[in-house]
Amino acid sequence: MHPDVVDLRSFYAGPLGVVARRLLGRSIRARWGNVAGQIVLGVGYATPYLDVFTGEAERILAFMPAAQGVVNWPTDGLSASALAELSMLPLRDSSVDRVLVVHALETGESPGELLSEIWRILTPGGRLIAVAPNRRGMWARMDTTPFGQGQPFSRGQLTQVLREALFSPVHWSEALYVPPFPSRTFLRSATAWERLGVTLSLPFAGVHVIEATKTLYRPVVVRQTRRVSARMSPALAATPRVLTRGAD
């Protein structure tokens, strides 16, 4: 079930949402350092992380599911956000260079269908960044944040659903090591938590951040054939005849 867009907007306007936006945004920007001349699409509720590409990308779009609702984005100028059926995106094949998915995989009915649709609209060599709650992290256990909604993923589960949709993961990272409590102590030390978690590769990060490329070939499944040896039997079997001599 998708969280309501009003709740999402309220979260990112609050202190904990500001911290999440800053820490997670750094991880996303580290992977996409330059998107000049490219078309970038945000799917789900990705607008808090799209602002960094404004003025750099050729065009930025934001599609949000109808069950969630939509907000006007950006706040100034022409709107680039719209409601969309995420399993049938209103874009041509191979028309987008980069897709950022946030608050979508864990709340959608079929992550595989969404990823397959994203595969369709990505250009050859196009890239996807998927952000999904870590099932081992504390953020997935707290329903007071959007990352506590829906179904969290393990690294193996996320890898499997990406590969089934013909994506090849090329980089893994994690973010949001700070506990999801609106305490000033935790919020002030959020950067220190993040550095410690990344340095020690701690297992309780709040989200997975995975970058994947579009695979242009469909893998061939080799099936084993079973040979059955059967004895050949003649279609007609000879029946011995008994000759009798009639009586005189």
Looking at residue 121, its pLDDT comes to 97
152 belongs to a structural domain: yes
For the chain, what is the domain count? 1
The pTM for the full model equals 0.86
Comparison of pLDDT for 134 and 186, the residue scoring more = 134
Counting residues of the chain whose pLDDT is more than 90, the rounded percentage is 77
153 belongs to a structural domain: yes
DSSP letter for each residue of 131-187: EEEBTTSSGGG-TTSGGGSS--B-HHHHHHHHHHTTEEEEEEEEE--S-S---HHHH
CA dist 99 and 211 (Å) reads: 10
109 belongs to a structural domain: no
240 belongs to a structural domain: no
Residues spanned by the domain of 69: 5-96+119-126+143-214
The helix/strand/coil state of 237 is coil
- In the chain, count of helices (H) and strands (E)? 6, 7
Tell me what the mean pLDDT of segment 181-198 comes to. 92
Looking at residue 77, its pLDDT comes to 84
Neighbour tally for 233: CB within 10 Å: 6
CATH number at residue 201: 3.40.50.150
Query: Do the beta carbons of residue 98 and residue 50 sit within 8 Å?
Result: no
CA dist 190 and 81 (Å) reads: 30
Confidence of residue 21 (pLDDT cuts 50, 70, 90): very high
Given a cut of 90, whether residue 245 has pLDDT beyond it is no
Comparison of pLDDT for 156 and 217, the residue scoring more = 156
CA dist 107 and 73 (Å) reads: 22
Tell me what the mean pLDDT of segment 86-103 comes to. 96
Given a cut of 90, whether residue 82 has pLDDT beyond it is yes
245 belongs to a structural domain: no
Amino acid identity, residue 212? A
Return the closest-CA partner of residue 64 out of 73, 55, 56: 73
Largest CA distance in the chain: 127
233 belongs to a structural domain: no
237 belongs to a structural domain: no
CA dist 20 and 209 (Å) reads: 13
Counting residues of the chain whose pLDDT is more than 70, the rounded percentage is 87
Confidence of residue 75 (pLDDT cuts 50, 70, 90): confident
230 belongs to a structural domain: no
